[in-house]
Structure formats: structure tokens, C-alpha cells
């Protein structure tokens, strides 16, 4: 697919790299970027061969420095709501995708950039990465899910500090509070992402997708119902060809050949 603001490429079998390609604007999320990200994600979700998605920003200064302020400054309330809802749909699409998404944060991940990273399943940060929700300094609140995903990940107190005081945090602190999974030198960011993606791609894709679903949705249920949801999905997986292949490979001491069936 051809995009104006994105680059989408297959890096290895089953592993795709999606790059927001607006380095001159620090990869800011304009309405066009949101629309193209949504379109790219839909095409990937329609491809049963996708096993993992890496998401990053072009250049070495920013993953995404935020939403496009020039575009937002002229928005009416109705236009602002439509922009927010479109972005929220994208973020929910990332969460609902049957394959994990890994954010590779190279530089600034502020506002909408932090929210995009939060919607991914893993965050790998370069040592120079910075995270923040500075929207209150513009007279607005986060609009792409930051007030809801951030406290679920780092707790209410830290989320309030980041969203209400607008404090940005650097990569080491982001790792300490559980916002990111790994911090690596900038030069090793892509390789670390590929390492994680390869580990995912080697597993049964149906099991990966359902396990992701369980972890995401079980947290919003009481423990008893969450455990029942797990048991139901365990039963579903027992009927798959991947389950038969995985267990046969284990017993035969060979690598499994998963097909996603």
C-alpha cells in the first residue's frame, strides 16, 4: 500500500515494521496520519500471515512528539471530538489486533505519541526516549486514551503527575515505573524489537492472540469471571491444529511448524 505519511514494510517472515514518516514535524499525528495508520492496521489484520508488528517514528529525535497542534488549533468542538474518536478507534484496533504490537520509542513520545505507545503491547525505549502527557499546557486534556491507559499501567498517582502536572519522564524512570519493558542504546533499538518479534513469531499465533486478549480483558473482570474466561479460551485452543502440532513437536523433540489453524 502507498501512504503519504507512513512506511510499511515486511522486515522478516511474519514481522512488519510501520514507521510514521513525518520527521520534519517530529512525526506528529495529524488527521491524515491517524487515517493512514487505521488503514495500514486494517490491511495487516486482514493478513493471516502477520505475527508481530513493530511501530516507530522516522528520524532519531521523536517516536511521535504529539498530535498535530497546527491542525488541532483550528478545530471546532465537533471536529475535535471526531479527531479524538478516530484516534481512539486506532488505539483500540491496535489492542484488538490478533498479533502483538511493539512500540520502538526513539526520542520523544509526548501526548498522542505516548498514547500510541500505550496502545501497543510492549514498549522498547532508546536511552534518549522521553514520555509525557503535556496536553494541559495547551489548555486541553489527553484525547487519545492517556487518562485511562496510563493509570492502568503505572498507577493513579504517577498518571496524575504526568497528566495534570505535565511532567515528562526519561527512559530509566519509565522502566522503573513499568511504563516500558526494555531500555536499550539507540543503536540497538531495532534489533531488540526484532528479537522480541522473532520470539513471538515462533509461537502458535492463535494462542498468542487469545493470550493477549485474556490479559487485556481479564483485568476488567472480577477474578472468578476472568478465570472462567481463561478456561473457556483454553478449551478453544485444545481444538486447534496448532495445539496438536505444538504438543507433537514437544514429544518428538523438534521445532513446531505452526500454521495458525
**Stated pTM of the model:** 0.94
Check residue 225 and give its pLDDT.
95
Per-residue pLDDT at 219 = 86
Listed in sequence order, the DSSP H helices in 127-222 are 146-154, 156-164, 171-176, 189-201, 205-218
| pLDDT tens, residue by residue, 25-60 | 999 999 999 999 999 999 999 999 999 999 999 999
Beta bridge partners of 20: 6, 57
* pLDDT at residue 1 greater than cutoff 80: no
Question: Across residues 5-30, what is the average pLDDT?
Answer: 96
Q: Tell me if domain 6-201 and domain 205-251 are identical in fold.
A: no
**DSSP state, residue 61:** S
Spans of all domains in the chain: 6-201, 205-251
Residue 43 pLDDT: 95
| 165-189: pLDDT as tens digits | 999 999 999 999 999 999 999 999 9
Q: How confident is the model at residue 93 (pLDDT cuts 50, 70, 90)?
A: very high
pLDDT on residue 117 = 98
* Whether CATH 3.90.380.10 fits 205-251: no
Using pLDDT thresholds of 50, 70 and 90, give the confidence band for residue 261.
Answer: confident
Residue 82 pLDDT class (50, 70, 90 cuts) = very high
Considering only CA atoms, which of 24, 81, 75, 16 is closest in space to residue 43? 16
pLDDT reading at 213 higher than 90: yes
Q: How confident is the model at residue 2 (pLDDT cuts 50, 70, 90)?
A: confident
> What does pLDDT average to over the chain?
95
- What is the average pLDDT across 137-154? 95
pLDDT at 249 over 90: yes
Q: For residue 214, is pLDDT > 90?
A: yes
* Cα–Cα separations (whole angstroms), residue 85 to 23, 34, 228: 25, 10, 32
**Are residues 133 and 160 in contact, defined by beta-carbon separation less than 8 angstroms?**
no
Name the pLDDT band for 220 (thresholds 50, 70, 90): confident
DSSP 3-state assignment of 104?
Answer: strand
Percent of the chain at pLDDT > 90 equals: 95
The pair phi, psi for residue 191, each rounded to 5°, is -65, -40
pLDDT at position 162 is 96
**Across 89-118, average pLDDT:** 97
Q: What CATH number does domain 6-201 carry, 3.90.226.10, 3.90.1150.10, 3.60.110.10, 3.30.230.10?
A: 3.90.226.10
Catalytic residues, by residue number, are: 115, 135
Separation CA 96–CA 164 (nearest Å): 28
Q: How large a percentage of the chain has pLDDT more than 70?
A: 100
Say what the pLDDT of residue 35 is: 97
Amino acid at each position: 500500500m502507498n501512504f503519504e505519511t507512513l512506511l510499511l514494510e515486511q522486515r522478516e517472515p511474519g514481522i512488519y515494521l510501520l514507521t510514521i514518516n513525518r520527521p520534519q514535524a517530529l512525526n506528529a499525528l495529524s488527521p491524515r496520519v491517524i487515517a493512514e495508520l487505521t488503514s495500514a492496521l486494517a490491511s495487516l489484520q486482514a493478513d493471516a500471515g502477520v505475527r508481530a508488528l513493530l511501530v516507530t517514528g522516522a528520524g532519531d529525535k521523536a517516536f511521535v512528539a504529539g498530535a498535530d497542534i497546527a491542525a488541532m488549533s483550528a478545530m471546532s468542538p465537533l471536529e475535535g471530538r471526531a479527531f479524538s474518536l478516530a484516534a481512539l478507534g486506532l488505539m483500540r484496533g491496535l489492542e484488538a489486533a490478533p498479533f502483538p504490537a511493539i512500540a520502538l520509542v526513539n526520542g520523544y513520545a509526548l501526548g498522542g505519541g505516548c498514547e500510541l505507545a500505550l496502545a501497543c503491547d510492549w514498549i522498547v525505549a532508546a536511552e534518549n526516549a522521553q514520555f509525557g502527557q503535556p496536553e494541559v499546557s495547551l489548555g486541553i486534556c489527553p484525547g487519545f486514551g492517556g487518562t485511562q491507559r496510563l493509570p492502568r499501567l503505572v498507577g493513579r498517582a504517577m498518571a496524575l503527575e504526568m497528566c495534570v502536572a505535565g511532567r515528562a519522564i526519561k527512559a530509566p524512570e519509565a522502566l522503573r515505573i513499568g511504563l516500558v519493558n526494555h531500555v536499550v542504546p539507540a543503536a540497538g533499538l531495532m534489533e531488540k524489537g526484532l528479537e522480541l518479534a522473532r520470539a513471538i513469531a515462533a509461537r502458535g499465533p492463535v494462542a498468542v492472540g487469545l493470550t493477549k486478549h485474556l490479559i487485556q480483558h481479564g483485568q476488567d473482570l472480577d477474578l472468578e469471571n476472568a478465570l472462567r474466561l481463561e478456561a473457556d479460551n483454553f478449551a478453544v485452543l485444545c481444538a486447534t491444529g496448532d495445539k496438536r502440532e505444538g504438543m507433537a513437536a514437544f514429544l518428538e523433540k523438534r521445532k513446531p511448524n505452526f500454521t495458525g489453524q
